[in-house]
Chain A
Amino acid sequence: MKINCTIDGSPYSIIANADKPLNIILQEKSDTYLINNSCLSAECGNCLIFFNGICLPSCLIPAFKLNGAIIQTFEGYRKTRFYHDIERAYAELGYKPCKQCYASKTLLIESLINKLDKVRLTYSPSNINDNNEDEEKNLSSEFIHNEIKINKCKCLSASQIDNIIQLAYLYRRRRSGKKL
């Protein structure tokens, strides 16, 4: 079947089998695509991409769902200014994901930063008790622990990822000139 979609901002027209997973399409399409398809069955979580703005494993998206979709891979994401916030946080804190999962974990961190932004935007102090005010303003460690389960690489702990998220979020807010 013929598929028209946008990958990293460029329109693509691909001919592929209807049940072909996106990760294989991406590998065949691009020579610079940074993806590790080590399992091909949603086990490793190393093939994360942004699919219509949602961070998903590309091995779970079949070709027939791609028509009109906007896909952003790490290759496209690293050219954006958002990546530099996370990169700065890696350098500042002194730890970063290993080579194997760098692309996926960075995209996962980006999606968690977006979630943190939503949590803080919807935060209203009048509805919350004083005791758990800090908890409500942040993503809980349980939530982060659950979210990073999608990537099986253990190179970073949940608390380290939390630190990266907090710092990258701080840089992002400073850059955009908004108060925390």
Chain B
Amino acid sequence: MAKNFNNPSIYTPKTLNEVVSILKDNKNIYFFSGGTYILSKKNNYPDFSNKDIIYLGDVAELLKINHSDKFTEFGASISIQKMINSGMQTLGKNTIGALESISTSQIRSLSTIGGALCTPNKRFFLSTILSVLQAQAEIRIFNKKRTIIKFIDIPSLYDENGFFKYTEPTILTKIKIPITHTKNQYFFNLGSPLKELESTVYFGFNFSISQNNIDTCHVCISGPEFFFTNTDFDNVISSITLPLTYNQINNLLHLLKEKISTSSIKISNLQIERAVRLLHFTLKDISERFVSGEYA
């Protein structure tokens, strides 16, 4: 044990430039933000990979919150609990409720936005929430020669199996959430991402209504090991007139099943069934609310 077991060096950069210079000098290194996923893995200590650690919790650029009329920006090292506290006015009741359903306040005060979005091989509820809210992430990719900075949509961060796409050293620096109509969102979080890999489902549905039609709609269904968004399916729902009939709802459920089964994602039958039933509940609830005049 003693032979392969060393004390990892810990780097605590204060600026992003310091992060860049550390990454240039060290290849065998991993990012540490909140640490809730890294430390909750079985046998996390002692670590025999001999990797050094960059702690991103002290980087000033990653701790900024910026509110404007059109969007809210959160730095990647901000904890989910702080995001809830500072986004009470701008994010809306449904989104705050969804964020509060992520674990307990103790864990939320440790886990960070960047950590939840950039875990290489596992997806958490936060990515589904931000995906349907049309949030964008600013990422910095560190090549050998230069640093590339770009804003991308949340679904573009992942492949179909929920893996974080970027293999080169990449830092997610901030997320930008547009301020939209805050009532028209549905979020469901069923199961535990760490224990129930084959039954956990996250569901997000965001829409806007103009006159009698659903104007724009974004649906995201994901789990710890898959991530499903489909523009065609979003477009089909976006052109629908309210209230929905029983047949229309049924057709949409069949269409969702078909889209999931034709995609190459690894999803269990239970997860498909849960996703379909959550969509059924959502569409039915929208219709009922429309008939009762809530969207007038």
Contact = CB atoms under 8 A, between A and B. Distances in A.
B104 to A, nearest CB: 4
Contact of A41 (B41, B47, B53, B105): B41
A153 B237 CA distance: 44
A56 B110 CA distance: 9
- Chain A interface size range: 20 to 34
Contacts of B40: 41-43, 59-60
A129 to B, nearest CB: 16
A149 B195 CA distance: 14
B144 interface: no
Contacts of B105: 146-147
A64 interface: yes
Interface stretch (B7-15, B82-90, B225-233): B7-15
For the residues of A in contact with B, the DSSP-based class is mixed
Interface in A6-24: 17-21, 24
A98 interface: no
B107 interface: yes
Interface in B16-44: 32, 35-36, 39-44
Contacts of A149: 103-104
A24 B44 CA distance: 12
Interface in B81-108: 100-101, 103-107
B282 interface: no
A97 interface: no
B172 to A, nearest CB: 21
Nearest to A22: B39
A54 interface: yes
B53 A64 contact: yes
Interface string B109-131: 11000000000000000000000
A146 B35 contact: no
A17 B106 contact: no
For the residues of B in contact with A, the DSSP-based class is loop
A147 B107 CA distance: 10
B98 to A, nearest CB: 13
A19 B46 CA distance: 8
Given A146-B104, A150-B107, A18 B36 contact: no
Given A64-B55, A146-B100, A18 B106 contact: no
Contacts of B195: 43
A21 B7 contact: no
- Chain B interface size range: 20 to 34
Contact of A21 (B45, B100, B104, B109): B45
Interface string A47-82: 010000011110111101100000000000000000
A18 B104 contact: no
A91 interface: no
A1 interface: yes
A57 B111 CA distance: 12
Contact of B35 (A40, A48, A62): A62
A60 B39 contact: yes
B109 A56 contact: yes
B106 A24 contact: no
Contacts of A61: 35, 39
Name the residue in B55, B101, B104, B109 with the highest tally of chain A Cβ atoms < 10 Å from its Cβ.
Answer: B104
Contacts of A56: 106, 109-110
B39 to A, nearest CB: 5
Given A1-B10, A41-B44, A64-B55, A21 B39 contact: yes
A1 B7 contact: yes
A126 to B, nearest CB: 19
Name the residue in B35, B40, B106 with the highest tally of chain A Cβ atoms < 10 Å from its Cβ.
Answer: B106
Contact of B110 (A40, A41, A60, A147): A60
A41 B39 CA distance: 7
A47 B237 CA distance: 48
A18 B45 contact: no
7 contacts: A1-B10, A18-B9, A19-B10, A40-B43, A42-B39, A42-B40, A61-B39
Interface of A: 1, 17-21, 24, 40-43, 48, 54-57, 59-62, 64-65, 146-147, 149-150
Given A17-B8, A19-B44, A42-B36, 5 more contacts: A19-B47, A21-B39, A59-B40, A60-B35, A149-B104
Q: Which 7 A-B pairs have the closest CB atoms?
A: A42-B40, A18-B10, A150-B104, A64-B10, A17-B7, A60-B39, A41-B40
